[in-house]
Chains A and B, each alone.
Chain A
């Protein structure tokens, strides 16, 4: 089997596990929604201010919920020595990385889209025709974050303080992604698609960079203990 087929199969496996239990998605959605309500409370109740801060607040909520989701998916693989089985059975182990990145992209897109819907209501974001491009931006942001998270969660997977280490190592790597999502969505809210194009390119470049790094480094970092 090729790398692409293996990756798609593994992504399908992760999605199937999630569809059966819905544990990661429901948990992280609740976490993200809770975070949105909390930051809304902390920064509100001035609606003008909330509207101004909406892209940043939503992006932060999505980011933290995505980290929790990556942690959960990684934990599932490490339970019952499932990762060892995968590691031994695959000819090209980079498929584990690509499969994880694909599954995370799908799940984080659902998460991001749902949280943006909530933000439209809670933070009073004005809806215009250009905002219809937001789902595309959400998917690109999710792919960029997923490509990095799949690598970093493998890197810190065997560490004692994994839950703390993942955000500590991950968040600085996601600075360009965060800036691109915040500024891109702000441009879409302001009905200025031209200003979003540059940020879309940043997301594409960040995705390509982390996929490249992941393919290069996964064999070194992903090996089970």
Chain B
């Protein structure tokens, strides 16, 4: 365990690389969506991890207001940053998938709109933290916003059930998961139905033309650039964030050393 913990970055990197390889090459193309389905292997985890991150922010915020311990505040802040990044990645990868399957980058669908609102709320949270220098005040105000902002998460999740829209209903927590065959059939029906009937005119025309006689399936129209772009967006943003964290940590350590030197010098 100690060896693994010491090399946790390498282990996580290997697991991610194996998962990416499996998602890109190991899994066969979806019968209906073709290669575009591979975007889901990064889009859905990004969205779920964003929910989880915002939940941790909520817990950290409640913890701070109850205990007034700045460690809770740091937990909430770090988690909100990660959640914001993952929400952005989920929106970008979803737009890439939408362009391939719906024929449009963006639709004012309830799920998409509420996700965009959630993104702005947590962008406000991060901005608020950046605008207040005094630690205790920053922690207190951010904790209140972290609690209020979490109300968005259930709204985003249930938006596909509460309102009609283009986005498919939840699949991870769907009721019909007990029967995989029925689940697959329903998913297929949903995709067909949504693509052909519910899509806005431009998307609908494209979906019909792709599904028409003698034309390839939706996903068979050259999707590779979209799939690769989605993987680059999600994984690239995570790597960029890791690099920025490392820089911030080394810069903070350098500041600490400089302060210590100044104190030692008298």
Contacts and interface: CB of A to CB of B under 8 A. Distances in A.
A172 interface: yes
18 contacts: A155-B128, A159-B132, A159-B141, A160-B133, A161-B127, A161-B131, A164-B127, A165-B124, A165-B128, A168-B120, A168-B124, A169-B128, A172-B124, A217-B144, A220-B140, A220-B143, A221-B144, A225-B134
Interface residues of B, number: 22
Contacts of B143: 220
Given A159-B131, A161-B131, A220-B65, A172 B141 contact: no
B120 to A, nearest CB: 5
Contacts of A34: none
A158 B124 contact: no
Interface in A154-183: 155-156, 158-162, 164-165, 168-169, 171-173, 175
A175 B132 CA distance: 26
B119 to A, nearest CB: 9
A213 interface: yes
B123 A168 contact: yes
Contacts of B133: 160
B127 A172 contact: no
Contact of B131 (A160, A172, A221): A160
B131 A155 contact: no
B144 A155 contact: yes
Main secondary structure of the interface of B (DSSP, over half): helix
Contacts of A165: 124, 127-128, 131
Interface of A: 155-156, 158-162, 164-165, 168-169, 171-173, 175, 213, 217, 220-221, 225
B228 interface: no
**Chain A at the B interface: mostly helix, strand, loop or mixed?**
helix
Given A165-B127, A168-B120, A172-B124, A221 B140 contact: yes
Contacts of A213: 148
B145 A155 contact: yes
A47 B244 CA distance: 51
Contact of A169 (B124, B134, B140): B124
A165 B148 CA distance: 16
Nearest to A156: B128
Contact of B128 (A159, A171, A172, A225): A159
Given A165-B127, A220-B65, A221-B141, A172 B117 contact: yes
B120 A155 contact: no
B121 interface: yes
Contacts of B246: none
A111 B209 CA distance: 51
Interface in B165-202: none
B145 A169 contact: yes
Interface in B113-143: 117-118, 120-121, 123-125, 127-128, 131-134, 137, 140-141, 143
